[in-house]
Structure 1
Amino acid sequence: MIRQIDLNNIAQAKAVYELQQLAYSVEATYLGTRDIPPLQETFEAFQTCDEVFIGYEKEGVLVGVLAYCIEDEVIDIHRLFVHPAFFGQQIAQELLQEVERHVHRKVVVMTGSQNQPAVRFYLKQGFELLKVVETSMNLSLSFFQKKPRD
């Protein structure tokens, strides 16, 4: 079941934050560093972000989250993560499809280039690679976009 998450609800916010820490720890292994924003973010900073959060629950347990902002009818995905025990179960795809139902222009997203499972996921979902940017931390970031079907 997919539902909106209220970060003002402490229990919901803690569940999302804890899942974020767990899921992004897997990405950190692909990137070779834990120095990535989702793992450095404090709970207080997390709770005050201005993103819209939706969550995927299985048997009442939060197992996937997608967070986004909308600007000029463009959906900018800021976070998309799934509990590692639920990888490969189409949860990220279902969360993405839920957001795409409301797209007017396009969806954009960025991920670490070394996170090949994420790169493959976005390409498989119809995103096109726009650019790859090298950062000062010896990481590269891949930027994707997906335009709505006509």
Structure 2
Amino acid sequence: MQSLSQSEFQVAFEHGAVQSVEIEPSGSRFAVKFLTLSGVAMLVQTRKSEPRLFGTVDGALRLLHKLGVRRIVLDRLEQWQPEQAKLVRRSRPDRAQALTRAAEYDRWVRTKVNASRLDPRPAMTEGEWETVRAAKRAERQALLAGKTE
């Protein structure tokens, strides 16, 4: 069986080398197979030779429609095993942690801004602010100098 990436499939399809397109189950997902002039082929991931699997028939249909395919066979549906979806689902704890940290930071910034807006003290003059910044800068440089010694 041949394997073609999306761009290779698109070129073959545009040149009339694809005779039929079929979506078939592969566990809980769906693969795209097609018959070309030189035999059966499968749509694979761009940088790998692994089959490109879609979570839903709809996902596969959208891609094929975008590529210009208008006739598609949905075959061997009795082999579809939707209960396996839980086994295949990728866990992204790193992404969940990043989103949690981003939300916490957002809350922290909003709290600081609100506190600043509600602060009854008069605003600092530019000169006062420059004095504070200079003191903080000197303090930070002293800390950094202490660490390098």
Q: TM-score, normalised by structure 1?
A: 0.25
Larger Rg: 2
Higher relative contact order (CA 8 A, sep 6+): 2
Q: Which has the higher helix share?
A: 2
